[in-house]
Amino acid sequence: MLGNLDNEVIFKKAFTDELVFKSFVKDVLGIDFEMGKIETEKKFNPKIGYVDFELDIHAESADKRVCIEIQRVEYDHHFDRFLHYFLALITEQQRSAKEYKIDQTVYMIVVLTAPYTISEKNGKPILDEVLQVNLNPQNLRGEIRDLYGHQFVCLNPNHPDLGTPQPIRDWLDLIYQSIHSPERPVLNTRHEGIRKAVELISFENLTPEERTRAKNKEAARITVAKIENRKACEIAKAMLLDHEPVEKVAKYTGLSIKQVEQLRDEQA
């Protein structure tokens, strides 16, 4: 039985392992990463901008030319948060007003463990398994000029795509099945990195301390989710009293159509 990769303790145990981390980075970003320093719950002092943010896993290469962040998120927070983190990591390298050269290439990988609740500006829902942002300029002919190389990748196994490359698919299967089918996962254990991750998060290989910490994290997450759901329901009720359409209420609260309809019926 696998530990749940939706749990912060389990996720960090797997992805702070050097073999797992390097394999994951190679498969997702296509780069060879020589591990230098790896940290969890990293913060910057002084703060960058006005947001005191924390990085789940932060690693720098041995030659300090590559900086990689991995974030695990069970709900999407919208892309504003991810974009802020990504750009702040680039900004953090500007040590003084006289220095504008960015010495490190910044890569950020966000792993989402719940379906997206956001839409494009035209209202079309986002249902992509892999999303990529590359900070390189291009000319009017669409030719890309490789100046920076910074990359930001979002992975969401809840929206499977037949076009997803197999190396990335293997990791998405691991994440999804650890959550939804932990007792009988079907995984590519021929992949060395996947096999090592499975070994690390197998329930029998978790220490009593890790099991306790994982349970505490899960209990805290459930409590927060209940509070957030209660707040969303109160907002939904107020919007329904103002005769807002059910679809609009669902969009702005993150509740499902069915939940909003139930609230509407209770108020009738």
- The Cα–Cα gap between 231 and 158 comes to 25
For residue range 75-93, list pLDDT tens digits in order.
Answer: 656 677 888 888 888 887 7
What pLDDT does residue 154 have? 93
- Helix, strand or coil, per DSSP, at residue 160: coil
* CA–CA separation, 150 and 217 (whole Å): 32
The residues facing 67 across adjacent strands are 60, 106
181, 137 contact by CB (below 8 A): no
Strand partners for 213: none
Cα Rg for the chain, rounded, in angstroms?
20
Q: Which residues of the chain have pLDDT under 70?
A: 46-52, 74-78, 95-100, 216-227
H or E element in which residue 13 lies = helix 8-15
**pTM, rounded to two decimals:** 0.78
**Residue-level pLDDT at 173:** 96
Domain ranges of the chain: 8-206, 208-268
CA angle 22, 184, 2 (to 5 degrees): 45
